[in-house]
Amino acid sequence: MSYVEVTNLAKRFDSTPVFKEINFTINKGEFITLLGPSGCGKSTLLRCIAGLNSVDNGSILVDGEDITSLPAQRRGIAMVFQSYALFPNMTVTDNIAFGLKMQKLSSDEIQRRVREGIEMVELNGREDHYPHQLSGGQRQRVALARSLVMQPRILLLDEPLSALDAKIRKNLREQIRLIQQELNLTTIFVTHDQEEALTMSDRIFLMNSGQIVQSGSAEEIYTEPADAFVASFIGNYNLLQAEQARAMLGLDTQLKVAIRPESILISSLSPVDTRSHYSQPISGTVKSSMLLGNVIRYRMDTDNGELVVDLLNRSSERLVSRGTQLELQVNMDEVREVA
């Protein structure tokens, strides 16, 4: 049986629906990401699960218990906020101990759990600091510890990394995932950043305008986009209209076609992999090139529209200058028709 069951959940603000007919199940210990553009309803959905917003319809079950109408205090759910939401008047220790004190645990128990929490997020030596004396990454780790010591049934993370700079974001991302796996903690993570979603999650629920449009593993979402929205949101898919696809690839299709940039080959530069089935050569002109580190991204003009092509950056002589004519071939095995 699933650990979390959400059935037919719906929420309106005034008369505008925020989300509707949300259905999903989560297994114990799973790391789920709600991914979607801003305004798609993912944060509100998270707040409804936390009990911070009410729902208009549907039910939320955790471990068989219906928590739909329980107040936030009694759901056994912890949440980490984008703004950290640390209590400015309390030290690191007091912040982490706050929830335990509310539960009226013995002071020995509180001390023990706070110490564990501090060790888990590696904040030893910062126990007596106030939030304003900590960096952004440290603050978010305090917030994480404050949630973890509550031993919640579900951990909710509402864009916890969005206010941090890139390097700290990557470190904390890994740390969160490690702790989550170690504790086998059922986690729902909200983000609009596809890289975070793809690297951290067991499963991704992709949301758009108040609905889950696709759910699946990172691999599934990335390679098998369910529709044009998913294809345009995940990766850097080339999205071709049906007539473009017919003309360019000779495909017999009435649907849009999604092509990943890395599944297009520049046949004048790389040998064609004979195990795959490639399209006829398409001639194109280099419009621009961008070095993304391990990948070079070309924008190519063809007779039937623009194509983005990613090439592994193996040596600098491959960097082709603007205006060069090249031959492209598309790996037809990786071309997806989408609605």
Q: Which residues bind another protein (CB under 8 A)?
A: 47, 50-52, 71-73, 77-79, 81, 83, 85-89, 98-99, 102-103, 143, 146, 150
Considering the complex, state which of residue 138 and residue 244 has its C-beta at the smaller distance from another protein.
Answer: 138
β-strands 186-191, 154-158 pairing = parallel
- Under 8 Å between Cβ of 189 and 45: no
Considering the complex, state which of residue 3 and residue 98 has its C-beta at the smaller distance from another protein.
Answer: 98
Question: Which residue is associated with the tokens 């390679």?
Answer: 223
Q: What tokens does 145 get?
A: 């510890």
**How many CB atoms are closer than 10 A to CB 101?**
11
Bridge partners, residue 272, by sequence: none
Considering the complex, state which of residue 47 and residue 256 has its C-beta at the smaller distance from another protein.
Answer: 47
Considering the complex, state which of residue 73 and residue 288 has its C-beta at the smaller distance from another protein.
Answer: 73
Considering the complex, state which of residue 25 and residue 87 has its C-beta at the smaller distance from another protein.
Answer: 87
Of the candidates 38, 45, 68, the one whose C-alpha atom is nearest the C-alpha of residue 212 is: 45
Considering the complex, state which of residue 131 and residue 235 has its C-beta at the smaller distance from another protein.
Answer: 131
Considering the complex, state which of residue 85 and residue 255 has its C-beta at the smaller distance from another protein.
Answer: 85
Considering the complex, state which of residue 156 and residue 259 has its C-beta at the smaller distance from another protein.
Answer: 156
Considering the complex, state which of residue 47 and residue 203 has its C-beta at the smaller distance from another protein.
Answer: 47
Q: How far is the CB of 165 from another protein (least distance, A)?
A: 20
Q: How far is the CB of 146 from another protein (least distance, A)?
A: 7
Q: How far is the CB of 139 from another protein (least distance, A)?
A: 12
Q: How far is the CB of 129 from another protein (least distance, A)?
A: 17
Q: How far is the CB of 103 from another protein (least distance, A)?
A: 6
Q: How far is the CB of 91 from another protein (least distance, A)?
A: 12
Q: How far apart are the first and last CA of the chain?
A: 33
Using CA atoms, how far apart are residues 309 and 286, in angstroms rounded to an integer? 10
Q: How far is the CB of 65 from another protein (least distance, A)?
A: 17
Q: How far is the CB of 325 from another protein (least distance, A)?
A: 56
Q: How far is the CB of 331 from another protein (least distance, A)?
A: 47
